Structures are given as C-alpha cells and as structure tokens.
Structure 1
C-alpha cells in the first residue's frame, strides 16, 4: 500500500453523533465492535454502558439505534437521547440539584422522581407511534393531554423532582388504576405515585414497533455536591428496575444509560455490584499494555480506515525523533509516541490522525517532523480545548482561563512536585493556594500521572481509572502537552 494514500484514509470524527449525521452507513460499516454488541443487542443483555470519557459510550448508543433500524426499518424504530448535563433554555443539569432537597433519607423521593421522568419520556415516544395501542385509545389520549396541560411532558429532571417533592400535582387515571392505588376515590394519582402508574400502563401497551431511550451526560465528577451523587444512585437503581421490567413487557422498549466509569465507582448504593455484573457493558480500551503497539486503538483506527493494523503501521516511520532543540535527541517508537500524546481514547486518537493528515501536502508521506508538528497542534488545539471544556463547573474559573499559561510555565514534565506546580500557577499571576485543586483535576483529566521514583513507572488515570491520586507527587505531564508547550522533560 502506498504511503501517499494516508491523507485519504477515513478515521471517523470526535463525536459519534457528527459521524452518524454525516454518513450513518459509513459509521455502521466501520464501527469496531470490540464487545460483540451485535449479539448483546439481540439478547438485550445490558442497559448501562460504562467507560472513561471519550471512550465511545455515545457511539454504543448510536450503534444500537442503527442496528435496530437496519433490522426492522427506519420507520419501525422510535428513539430519543436525553443529555442530563445539557444546559439550554428550560433545561437544568443534574449538578443544580440542591443538597437540602436530596438526602439519603429521602431516597424514595428521588426514586419516584426518576420513575416519573423516565415514564414521561417513554410515554411521549409511544404517543408518536400511530400503531401503538395508546395512540388509538381515547383514555390514553386524554391522559397524555392532561400530562401536557400539567406541564409535565418535556420537563428536565430537576423540574420533575421538584413536582414530586411538593406532591401537589394530581392526574386522573380513571380506568387505568384501582382505588387501592389511587390517592383519592376520584382515581386521581399524586405526582409521588404517578411514575409507577404510568410505567404499568406503558408495560401493557402494544405495538409492532421498537423504542430506544438513551440517557447520556453522567460524565461529571462534582466533589462538593452530595445531592448529585444521591441523584445518580437513584437513577441507576430505577434504571435497573425498569430494565428488568421492560424485558417482560408486551412492547419492545430498550433503555440505555451511559455513565463514566470513575463516576460509576463514586455512586454508592446496595446493588451497584449486581448492576455492574449483570446489566452493564464496560467500554474500556485497556490502555495499560506494556507495548503501545498492542493497544486496541490501532484496531479501532484500522477498522475505520478499512485496512489492517499492520497496514496502518506501515504508513509511519519506525521512530519519531524528539529533543533536537535541547541538543539531546532521542528516538521514540511511533506507536508509543502517538498513543502517549493522547489519553488513550477513540475520540482523541481519531482527532490526532486527522491532524496528521492535515500536515501532509498532496501526495505527501509521513515524516518524523510532520508527525511532531501534528502532535503539537493536536495538544494545543484539540486536547487542551477538550480538557478546558471538561473543567467547566469543576475548576476555578481563573485556573480554567489560564491553563495554557500555567502549562507553559512548568519547569519540567517529569518529577513535578506540588511546589513546582505552585510556582507555575504563581507565574501565571494566580494564587498558589489553588495548587491542590489544579493538581487533582489534572490527574483526573489524564494530564498528570503519578510517578514512582523506585520503578520509574508512571500511572496515568486514563490508563486505569482505579489509580489514586498522590497529592504530594511527584507527577509526570502528558507527553503531548509536554511537546506542545515546550516543557523540558527534566
């Protein structure tokens, strides 16, 4: 294969949604099904998709939707994706949940609110299906209108939680429930019990079509908001309950919940281990290999490009030369140099490949210099932008705004200490007391790794996110950022 064709290879896009919007057939054809999702979809083996940020959780949702559409026809699949972290007019992210309203003692309220929220989403989807039994039933049509007039349909979760907590809204379910399950003899059901009643109605509905509800946005680590973690725990409890319930329903409804792996480990509730074992799929690219060339990310890229991993390696020079400006040049194997410039996710390795393509002239071929330039551009424009976006709401505004200046001021990339990071922060004109906050964020973001002086081994969080942050250091900076900001290795 000619190296001059590298510029023409397809490597996907950073966003699965963008990739699908551009060419859904190409996305489906080049999807690297490392977890045998095709078989799992048919057997409905999971509802929870767990993996690091950027690992392809949203891509799993798109893949499931497209596989269903190809099997049953686009007209027969109704789908909806709801991002719980979305900030738009009329929408509030989960992080806005007030601590005083969400408590461990009030878990029943949170569970009831999630049942109602999910039931409303599903009911709204079913109402759009002309062949669904609910669409032709006068009582069901009236119920949906009543829910719309009560301003329950289309609301975000914080709004639904507030309605459940206040418990002032009642909806008539005459003909749907018995008096024993109603709040009053008039068959009116309160907001607290409405979700359960609607789920019974949904489970008994009939349709030949198929429905998929995907919940995304469980990607934030917010240390000082207990309400956030209790709310997520309630979602997973109710999600697991609903997943099992829908398996026995008269209608084909599937639920997917995408959750970052380290977020999942922070959510504490009794059945978390059972959900992880029985109802989950882990989207993990196992970046802890001793040989970077063995990373499954190369198989992912090869699948996107429609070639073999060996053919992909053939495009690159064997080694990348670095350190020439310092007078101490050294050679790094290309797979190691490229993988370690990213945080070992499909999103970032795809972005890096496209940056490399951008550095090639027409009919050009890959050289060490061109690859180095592409890595610099990727780190300063792509990786830093991604990390800055991840920091929104989590990192002090001054740190977020001056992150590039701080990185440029680091004295070295290896054996960084709390004191050296504090000096870099001060040189950017900020308060050194922010050091601990920045160091922990950079570790969780995969920008700093724990350095073990005894073995010389570096533990990056993105390689195995069970690693604990060593607050006193020493640490090592991500390689891509080191070269992009011209930080000396030592």
Structure 2
C-alpha cells in the first residue's frame, strides 16, 4: 500500500459523542480499547470507570451504546450533568433528611433508568410482568423515567412521591396501603431488575460528572451517596447473577476526595474499579508508550492496516530556540508528549492540529518527513486553540467560574515568565482582577489540578523536579514552593523561558510530567532509602 499523506490521516474529534454522531462507522472502527476495558464493563466485573479528564471514559460509554448491533448487550448512557445534583438530597422518599435518604434517592434514580433499559429489551422477561409494566408506566408519567428526570427531581424536592399500588401482583398481596412512597417501593424495583431474565447483557452508564467541578460540600454529599447507591445496587445484581450492571464514569481525583465519606471506598477501588490510565510507562516505554500506541492504532485502523507508525512522518528531533539564543534539538516524541497532559484527548488533538496545517497547503508540501515549520505551526495552533480553552473549561461549575478563569489565566500571562512563586501570582492577580474577591491559593490549586502549572519539589542529592498533577490523585500542590507553566501555555502566549535550558526531566528519558506524578515526595524518599 502506498503510504498516505500525513494530511489525509484520521485522529478523530475532541468529543467522542460528536465523533460517533458524525461518522458512527469510523468511530467504531477506530476505537482503541485499553486492556480489554469494554469486555470487563459488559461482564459486570467493574462498576467504576476512573480516570483523568480526557482519558476516554465517555468514549467507552458511547462505544458500548453504538456497538449494540455488533454485540450481545444493550447500553444506555445517561448524562448526570443535566441532573440537579444539589437537589437529590432533598428528594422526598418518605424518610427523614440525611445521608441515608440521599443514598435511597440515588438508588431510586438508578433503578428507574435501569428499568427503562430492561424494558427496551423485548426479549427480557420483565416485559411480560403486568405489575412491572403498570408501575413503569406510572414512573414514566411522574417523569422519573426518560430524559426529563431532572425536572421530576425538582418537582418532588418538596412533595413526597406516592405510587398507587396496582390491584394485582406482589405489591398488592404484601402491602396494606393503597400507595407506596419511594423508600417502600425500592425493594420491589430491586427484586424485579435482579430477577429479570434475558439473553443479552444490560449496562447503564452514568456520564457527565466530569462536566461539573464538584468543589462544594453539597455536591460531595450527593456524589458520595451516588457512588454508595451504585455500589450496593451492583452487589444485589451480582448476587442474583442479574443480566447487567450500573456503571459510573468518574474522575479519579474526585473519587479520592469523596472516599472519606464512603466506608467501603477501598474495597470499591480494589475489586470493582477500572482505571483508564494511558500514562503508565509513558516515559520509559518511549515511542512504544500506551499513548503513542493509541495514536498509531487509531490512525492505522482508519486506513485498514494493523501496523502503523505515525512518528515515521516526523523528523527524529524538533528544533527549538533561535539563532541568537542557540538552536537545540529535542527528540520528537518527548517534545510532543511534553506539550500534552498525557491524555488521549490532548495527544490526538496535537497530532490533528499538525495534520490540519499540513493539509492546508499554506506551507510547501512535506516530503518523507514533515517540515519543521509545519510542526511548529501545528503545535502553536494546538496550544492556542485547544489547550488554553481546555484549561478554561476546568473552571466550569466553580463559583464565578468564567470570571475567575479569565482572571487566573490573565494573571499567569501577565507574570510573563516560565517560573514563578505564589507571591508573584498573588500580585499579578491583584493587578489584573482588582474587583474580584478570590483567594489566590484556591486559584493556584485549581490551575495545578487542571495541569496548567507544575510544582517544584525537592529531590535526591539536592536536585529538584517539577511535578505536574494532571489529575493524579496521589499528587499534592505545595503552595510555598515555586511553580512552572505548562509548555503549551508558554508556547500559546509566547512567554520567555526563565530556566535556561529545559529541565533534565523534560528532555530526558522520563518526561517531567510523569516523574513527579508517579513518585510523590514521600514515596520517592522510601524508594531512595531502599536503593541505599
């Protein structure tokens, strides 16, 4: 096969749902499954899919839904960002207010949606039970089944929901009252879904939690109750060897924060959590890293070939600097990797922006290897069009989000250098956002968690290393230390570099972004002692 031009390669879209809607066949053909994740989710082995934002949690969900015709399963994806999470604890279930009522409220919401999924399956035994069909019709009329469930939650946050008892079936035989509240109805819903029989598997996936920055106690209570409800419901389904499971797609840093409210959080993570982390060994493995295999596989499958190497279109090294300051050469993979936050979304967008520049015809067409100016322009387009916006999006849901996002990024830009400390940021913030009342330390934390800045920490033999969080739950920010802008922001804003040559950890075998994140100070100290 004649090698296609780089401008004709396929790297997908930024949003997996948009990609699937535009070209379902291409999306399914080029979807890259990390370590058999989809099979484990379909089997019901895992109910938590954890991972940093941009690691493919939503892509997994939409792949399962759009791949229904190809497999023996049915999938339903629900977007939790449309639900009023803060109102869930107020849902009148027939109990006194408190954490237990919130868990029951979430269990009810999950059961209603799971029941809807089962009823889509015409071969499922549940459709032959008149009692279930009647109750499902009432729940649908109330608005608890279907896309309007958010409005139903708001409606019944002040009024107790009562479900009329049908004059037939198990409920009629066991209950003396003519109506049930949510709390009393749940055992029947659990029994029906657990005992349902079908030839296919059923997977309810709750997505959209990445779209809400849960930085408030009221959200934490609601979300921890959601995880607890899903956990106990899945235990019930597993015990009865049911036909499916409920799956939550959740950022790993959020799960770690709410874990303190979950008595079984470690069991959940050890036994029933699937972690999507493409960064494992990404430094040591070099061009064989999981992220690069993802890029190669996606581009190759679009061409119908098994073995494909995108980096063969690139020169071995990228030239940076100028004649006045000196030109340096950085190995291509390390240069590109350090422009990202080590997530599939960042990596694919970077290769896509370079592709667009090559395909535009603005520069002279490249030969066997892409021209340096094409790569530089593509990296610039990625940094300015994608990366800055991605950092701004991290403030979504944060109190005063858009205003504070603009202030934080403007303050970073106004510092006008690669390395800075907390005092410099505070002074810059005061000068560009004098009318905004905000603690500069809160913004530093948010920027750190978003991957916009790294933190300098002490290392072995008086060496220091830059630690970038990139939503790794084991990393912490040191507010008294020095900070460093991510390479993509330096590139996007044309800021001056103030560290001389790039740190060893940014150009060496193990990229800076992984070294600090993979070995926090306490663990690294133990590792050094063990070496001695």
Give the TM-score normalised by structure 1: 0.87
Of the three residues 198, 202, 210, the one matched with 1:211 is 202
Moved more, 138-147 or 473-482: 138-147
What corresponds to 2:272 in structure 1? 279
What corresponds to 2:405 in structure 1? 400
Of the three residues 256, 260, 263, the one matched with 1:270 is 263
What corresponds to 2:218 in structure 1? 227
Alignment of 1:25-424 (within 5 A): 25-37=25-37, 39-41=39-41, 43-66=43-66, 68-72=68-72, 77-86=73-82, 92-95=83-86, 106-154=98-146, 155-156=148-149, 159-160=152-153, 163=156, 166-177=159-170, 182=175, 185-219=176-210, 220-223=212-215, 225-249=216-240, 252-267=243-258, 268=260, 269-286=262-279, 289-291=282-284, 293-306=287-300, 311-324=309-322, 327-361=325-359, 362=361, 363-364=365-366, 365-394=369-398, 396=400, 397-414=402-419, 416-424=420-428
Q: CA deviation at 1:249?
A: 4.7
Paired positions, count: 477
What corresponds to 2:479 in structure 1? 471
What corresponds to 1:89 in structure 2? none
Give CA deviations for 1:4-59 in whole Å, capped at 9, x if unaligned: 72112222222222222233333333332222235525643111100000101112
Moved more, 397-406 or 13-22: 397-406
Contact 1:450 1:473 in 2 (8 A): yes
> Matches of 1:166 and 1:325 in 2, distance apart?
73
Give the TM-score normalised by structure 2: 0.80
> Matches of 2:2 and 2:413 in 1, distance apart?
39
Contact 2:279 2:343 in 1 (8 A): no
Cα 1:101–1:409 shift into 2, 3 Å? farther
Cα 1:190–1:173 shift into 2, 3 Å? farther
Q: CA deviation at 1:449?
A: 0.7
5+ residue gaps, structure 2, are 499-532
Cα 1:167–1:101 shift into 2, 3 Å? closer
Give CA deviations for 1:264-288 in whole Å, capped at 9, x if unaligned: 1011211111111111111012267
What corresponds to 2:13 in structure 1? 13
Q: CA deviation at 1:195?
A: 2.5
> Matches of 1:166 and 1:413 in 2, distance apart?
56
Moved more, 442-451 or 469-478: 469-478
Moved more, 52-61 or 391-400: 391-400
Moved more, 279-288 or 34-43: 34-43
Cα 1:232–1:65 shift into 2, 3 Å? same
Contact 1:317 1:334 in 2 (8 A): yes
Give secondary structure in 2 for the equivalent of 1:112. helix
> Matches of 1:298 and 1:349 in 2, distance apart?
8
Give secondary structure in 1 for the equivalent of 2:470. coil
Moved more, 450-459 or 134-143: 134-143
Q: CA deviation at 1:447?
A: 0.6
> Matches of 2:409 and 2:132 in 1, distance apart?
56
Give CA deviations for 1:310-339 in whole Å, capped at 9, x if unaligned: 832221122222232872432222111111
What corresponds to 1:428 in structure 2? 432
Cα 1:436–1:404 shift into 2, 3 Å? closer
Contact 1:47 1:243 in 2 (8 A): yes
Give CA deviations for 1:448-475 in whole Å, capped at 9, x if unaligned: 1111364231111117431101112301
Give secondary structure in 1 for the equivalent of 2:71. helix
Cα 1:337–1:427 shift into 2, 3 Å? farther
Q: CA deviation at 1:141?
A: 3.0
Q: CA deviation at 1:95?
A: 4.8
Moved more, 151-160 or 348-357: 151-160
Cα 1:151–1:30 shift into 2, 3 Å? closer
Cα 1:287–1:37 shift into 2, 3 Å? closer
Contact 2:46 2:272 in 1 (8 A): yes
Moved over 6 A (4+): 1-4, 98-105, 307-310
> Matches of 1:22 and 1:482 in 2, distance apart?
34
Give secondary structure in 2 for the equivalent of 1:29. helix
Contact 2:91 2:157 in 1 (8 A): no
Cα 1:39–1:153 shift into 2, 3 Å? closer
Aligned Cα RMSD in Å? 3.2
Q: CA deviation at 1:402?
A: 4.2
Cα 1:191–1:43 shift into 2, 3 Å? closer
> Matches of 1:232 and 1:296 in 2, distance apart?
31
Give CA deviations for 1:195-240 in whole Å, capped at 9, x if unaligned: 33212122233444443211012224433x2221122121112212
Of the three residues 452, 456, 475, the one matched with 2:457 is 452
